[in-house]
């Protein structure tokens, strides 16, 4: 079991505004219950849950950071970038979340068509219904597939149908880093490369990503995300120092799936060996 423990900081979480299982209010209340003092809601390609989350956090005496996890790409490889600390009505963030929401619908149609070619029924409308008011994503297709008896559980849905290898021909849909980052850096928010060890990248390619990310204005990398292996955290800490990045942390919480994926819980970092991004928001 990785060295995961509850922390007073969580800068990567998801609510029902995207693909999480708790409403923004419920999520903040749970974070407070677990001892989180500084909290960021970072839903995929939407900021619609921020107001509710902020109001709840303020009422509980927590420090709340505006956040959003944006879908991007580097040389056609999908990545996730967390924007932190922007104004809620930031026009630039609004522009790109709106664009990505349109892409999500188009991508969802492509996913449904690809699954149909593999012999499955057309799941698009049911996935839309499953998403409700949140941003359509692969987890919604996975839940429909479980409900329809196509697979046993959502893990099987991803293993057999929805992982990046299976959907390879429709991966090139998100904005490239060089397209989106110049505008975002102008908004003066912190741009964080999320969970760098989860991408299908060699060390050489990961360093190439980080080099480009830095040149384009990226300010931080996530050195701990949920139940990250301790050796991966140490490696990412070293990379943060090597490239001069601030270090961010978070649970990447989506729902109560197990004790190692709880809000406010992630592998311990060596705070004295990194440049913590959260220091700027501490009072």
Among 176, 37, 24, 36, which residue's Cα sits nearest to residue 103? Answer: 176
Burial 172-191 (b: 16+ CB within 10 A, else e): ebbbebeebbeebeebebbb
DSSP-derived pairing of the beta strands 38-41 and 9-10: parallel
Q: Are residues 81 and 137 in the same domain?
A: no
Is the same domain home to 127 and 255? no
Write the CATH number for 202. 3.20.20.140
C-alpha 129/C-alpha 106 separation (Å) is 16
Q: Say how many domains are in the chain.
A: 2
Asked which of 146, 170, 194 is the last residue of a domain, the reply is 170
| Higher pLDDT pick, 87 / 164 | 87
Looking at the structure, do residues 224 and 274 belong to the same domain, yes or no? yes
**Segment 7-57, tens digit of pLDDT:** 899 999 999 999 888 999 999 999 999 999 999 999 999 999 999 999 999
Least confident span in 46-60, 128-142, 215-229, 266-280: 128-142
**148 and 66, same structural domain?**
no
3-state secondary structure 80-147: EEEEECCCCCCHHHHHHHHHHHHHHHHHHHHHHHHHHHCCCCCCHHHHHHHHCCCCCCHHHHHHHHHH
146 and 165 co-located in one domain:
yes
18 lies in the same domain as 91: yes
Per mean pLDDT, which of 98-102, 115-119, 232-236 is the most reliable?
A: 232-236
The parent domain of residue 130 ranges over 104-170
Q: From 116, 140, 170, give the residue that closes a domain.
A: 170
Do residue 88 and residue 224 come from a single domain? yes
Among the candidates 145, 170, 195, a domain finishes at 170
pLDDT of amino acid 218 = 97
What mean pLDDT is predicted for residues 99-108? 89
Distance of alpha carbon 159 from alpha carbon 3, whole angstroms: 27
Q: How confident is the model at residue 107 (pLDDT cuts 50, 70, 90)?
A: confident
Q: Do 119 and 80 fall within a single domain?
A: no
Residue-level pLDDT at 1? 40
* 259 and 185, same domain (yes or no): yes
262 and 130, same domain (yes or no): no
Q: Are residues 19 and 94 in the same domain?
A: yes
CATH of the domain at 155: 1.10.150.650
The pLDDT score that the predictor gives to residue 4 is 58
Mark whether 25 and 69 lie in a shared domain: yes
């Amino acid at each position: 079991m990785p060295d995961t423990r509850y922390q007073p900081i969580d800068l990567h979480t998801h609510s029902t505004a995207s693909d999480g299982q708790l409403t923004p209010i419920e999520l903040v209340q749970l974070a407070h219950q677990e001892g989180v003092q500084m909290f960021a809601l970072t839903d995929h390609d939407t900021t619609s849950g921020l107001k509710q989350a902020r109001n709840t956090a303020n009422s509980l005496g927590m420090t709340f950071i505006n956040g959003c996890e944006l879908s991007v790409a580097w040389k056609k490889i999908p990545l996730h970038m967390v924007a932190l600390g922007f104004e809620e009505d930031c026009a630039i963030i609004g522009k790109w979340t709106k664009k990505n929401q349109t892409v999500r619908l188009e991508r969802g149609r492509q996913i449904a068509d690809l699954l149909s070619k593999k012999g499955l029924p057309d799941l698009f409308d049911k996935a839309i219904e499953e998403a409700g008011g949140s941003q359509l994503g692969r987890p919604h297709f996975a839940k429909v597939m479980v409900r329809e008896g196509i697979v046993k559980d959502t893990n099987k849905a991803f293993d057999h149908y929805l992982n990046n290898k299976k959907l390879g021909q429709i991966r090139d849909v998100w904005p490239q880093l060089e397209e989106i980052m110049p505008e975002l850096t102008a908004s003066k928010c912190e741009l964080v490369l999320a969970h760098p060890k989860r991408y299908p990248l060699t060390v050489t390619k990961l360093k190439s990503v980080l080099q480009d990310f830095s040149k384009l204005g990226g300010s931080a990398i996530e050195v701990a995300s949920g139940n990250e292996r301790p050796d991966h955290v140490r490696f990412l800490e070293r990379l943060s120092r090597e490239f001069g990045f601030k270090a961010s942390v978070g649970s990447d919480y989506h729902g109560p799936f197990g004790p190692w994926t709880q809000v406010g819980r992630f592998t311990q970092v060596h705070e004295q060996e990194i440049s913590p991004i959260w220091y700027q928001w501490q009072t």
